[in-house]
Structure 1
Amino acid sequence: MYFTDRGIEELAERRGQESVTFDWLAERLRDFVDLNPEFETATERLATWLARLDDEDDE
């Protein structure tokens, strides 16, 4: 188990039953980067990965 898995598991346990829009998620990611600018690159990579998840060209 990676260290980050604990946060992912907590997210799933606490909010796993909720539904959100990608607009909501994008706004939370912006808020996170505003508060934690040192994570801008990782957050950008995650957002790009999520945006392109279904692109057949990236496989």
Structure 2
Amino acid sequence: MYFTDRGIEELAERRGAEEVSLHWVAERLREFVDLNPEFETPVERLATWLARLDDDEED
């Protein structure tokens, strides 16, 4: 188990029943990077991965 799995599990437990828009998620990611600029690259990679997730299915 990766250390990040704990945070992902907490997110699922605390907020798993909520429905949010991707716009809301994008705003929270921006806020997080503003507060933690050292995480800009990993957040950018996650956002890009999520944005392109279905690209392989179109081929």
TM-score (norm 1): 0.94
- Count of paired positions: 58
Moved more, 48-57 or 18-27: 48-57
SS at match of 2:39: helix
What TM-score, normalized by structure 2, do the two folds share?
0.94
Sequence identity of aligned pairs in percent?
79
1:2 correspondence with 2:6: no
1:40 aligned to 2:12? no
1:24 and 2:24 correspond: yes
Please, which runs of 5 or more residues in structure 1 have no aligned partner?
A: none
String of CA shifts for 1:8-56, please: whole Å, max 9, x gaps.
0000000000001000000000000000000000000000000000002
Structure 1: distance between partners of 2:30 and 2:16: 21
Amino acid at match of 1:34: D
**Structure 1 residue ranges (4+ consecutive) displaced by more than 2 angstroms after TM superposition:** none
